[in-house]
């Protein structure tokens, strides 16, 4: 009967694969679900985990700096522009969401992609602000926006690093698991 099962199709998603086999002679279709939620597929590698934890620590420092209005480059992207202290307190509370997101991403691979997307949106948002007329209006005559672009680029480099680590973990996990395209053991 195994030789008669000549058509096999695999459909895969993050945590499972389904294999459908059809026996032409018997006119029987069999289905098998493969659970791929092994630890190797749901956990980040140590470098990826630590990269996300570094982000959580960075955002924690940023939240503290904004709360206490400690205007230093790196923790404040727009460190030498006019500001209102109450706005910085609001920013500090919002940054706490980044702290939680990046900490959770370090612990759970399923959340890591969301953190990467959020960081990508942040880089796009900072880039839009850097190019905006609103920023140009608050800069002193002759004041360059280069420091803001450098900080945006640094965050972009961190984004690229996280993306590469995340993708590498996904490829190596699939290789260790044998991929979903392999035949399912135990099926005729």
What are the residue boundaries of the structural domains of the chain, listed by start?
Answer: 2-37, 41-174
Q: Can you give the pLDDT at residue 108?
A: 93
Q: Can you give the pLDDT at residue 172?
A: 72
Convert the pLDDT of each residue in 34-54 to its tens digit. Answer: 555 554 446 899 999 999 999
Distance CA 131, CA 123 (A): 12
How far is CA 43 from its chain centroid? 13
Strand partners, 13: 16
Which residues of the chain fall below pLDDT 70?
1-42, 173-188
Distance CA 6, CA 18 (A): 16
Q: Can you give the pLDDT at residue 6?
A: 53
Convert the pLDDT of each residue in 105-127 to its tens digit. Answer: 999 999 999 999 999 999 999 99
Q: Can you give the pLDDT at residue 90?
A: 95
């Amino acid at each position: 009967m195994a030789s008669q099962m000549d058509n096999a199709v695999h459909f895969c998603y993050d945590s499972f694969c389904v294999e459908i086999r059809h026996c032409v002679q018997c006119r029987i279709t069999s289905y098998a679900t493969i659970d791929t939620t092994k630890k190797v597929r749901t956990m980040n590698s140590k470098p990826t985990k630590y990269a996300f934890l570094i982000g959580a620590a960075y955002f924690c420092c940023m939240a503290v700096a904004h709360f206490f209005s400690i205007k230093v480059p790196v923790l404040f992207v727009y460190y030498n522009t006019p500001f209102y202290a109450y706005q910085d307190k609001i920013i500090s509370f919002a940054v706490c969401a980044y702290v939680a997101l990046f900490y959770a991403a370090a612990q759970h691979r399923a959340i890591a992609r969301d953190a990467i997307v959020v960081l990508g949106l942040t880089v796009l948002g900072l880039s839009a602000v850097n190019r905006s007329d609103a920023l140009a209006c608050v800069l002193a005559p002759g004041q360059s926006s280069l420091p803001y672009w450098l900080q945006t680029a640094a965050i972009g480099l961190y984004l690229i690093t996280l993306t590469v680590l995340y993708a590498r973990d996904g490829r190596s996990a699939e290789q260790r698991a044998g991929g979903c395209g392999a035949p399912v053991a135990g099926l005729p």
